[in-house]
Chain A
Amino acid sequence: QVQLVESGGGVVQPGRSLRLSCAASGFIFGGYGMHWVRQAPGKGLEWVALVSYDGSNKYYADSVKGRFAISRDNSKNTLFLQMNSLRAEDTGVYYCAKDQSGGWCHYWGQGTLVTVSS
C-alpha cells in the first residue's frame, strides 16, 4: 500500500532554513508527480509546491516562490522541500502527497510540524 512518511520538521528561528523529506513506498515513485501542502495551526489547507515525475518541472505557490525549492531523488524514493528565509507565517504542518492526474493529492503522509519562532 502507498506510504508517505515526512521528516525534518522542528523549531527554527525566522530567517533560517530547514529541509523536509518525504520517504515514499508502495508505488512506483518515479512515475508520479508529488506535492507539498501545508496547514497552519487551526487553519485550512494551503498548496505549496508540485514537482513532476522526473523532477524537470516545478511549480510553487506565490507565497513561497523564491524561498522554497522542491526536489526529488527517484533513486531513493524521496521527496524534499528546502525552505529558506523562513517566516512566522510558514509555521504549520507540512504534508507530502502523491499526485493524481496533474493536480489532485491522492495519498497523503501524516505530516511534519514546522514552527518558526524566535
Chain B
Amino acid sequence: EIVLTQSPATLSLSPGERATLSCRASQSVNNHLAWYQQKPGQAPRLLIYDTSNRASGIPARISGSGSGTDFTLTISSLEPEDFAVYYCQQRGNWPPSITFGQGTRLEIK
C-alpha cells in the first residue's frame, strides 16, 4: 500500500500570506495525486486532480505541482475561506489502490 505523508500537520498563517502544503508518497504515484479541502461539519471538496488540474469552480490562487513522490499544494494569497483541513490522495495504477494522507490543518494565525 502506498503511504502518503503530509507536512506540516498544522500551518498557522494570516490572510494574504502564501501557503505551501506538502505531500510525500512512499513510492512513485506518477502524477496520480489529488488534493481536497474539508471544512468543519462539511464534506470534502475536490480542489486539484492529476497533480495540477483544478477542479471546476476552484480559484486560480490554488495550484498544485510535483511529480513522482513529492507534491505541493500552494495557495498564493490566503482568503478567510481557505482556512480548513487539506488532504492529498493517490489513486495508483489500475486496479485503483486509493489512499489519503493524514491531513494538514491550515489555521488562522
- The answer to whether A and B interact is yes
Segment of A68-76, A77-85, A105-113 in the binding face: A105-113
Query: Which partner residue on chain A sits nearest B38 by CB separation?
Result: A45
Give the docked Cα–Cα distance between A101 and B46 (Å).
13
B85-109 with Cβ < 8 A to chain A: 87, 89, 91-92, 94-96, 98-103
A25-71 with Cβ < 8 A to chain B: 35, 37, 44-47, 50, 57, 59, 61-62
Closest CB of chain B to A92's CB: distance in Å?
13
Give the docked Cα–Cα distance between A40 and B40 (Å).
14
| B102 engages A44 (CB within 8 Å) | yes
| B43 engages A44 (CB within 8 Å) | no
Interface residues of A, dominant DSSP = strand
Counting chain A residues whose Cβ lies within 8 A of the other chain, the interface size class is 20 to 34
B54 within 8 A of A: no
Give the docked Cα–Cα distance between A47 and B101 (Å).
11
Counting chain B residues whose Cβ lies within 8 A of the other chain, the interface size class is 20 to 34
A95-115 with Cβ < 8 A to chain B: 95, 100-111
Give the docked Cα–Cα distance between A45 and B101 (Å).
8
Query: Which partner residue on chain A sits nearest B90 by CB separation?
Result: A103
Query: Which partner residue on chain B sits nearest A99 by CB separation?
Result: B96
CB neighbours of B102 from chain A (8 A) = 44
Give the residue of A50, A95, A100 whose beta carbon is less than 8 angstroms from that of B98: A50
- CB-CB under 8 A for A59 and B95, given A45-B87, A100-B49, A106-B55: yes
B binding-site residues for A, Cβ under 8 Å? 1, 32, 34, 36, 38, 42-46, 49-50, 55, 87, 89, 91-92, 94-96, 98-103
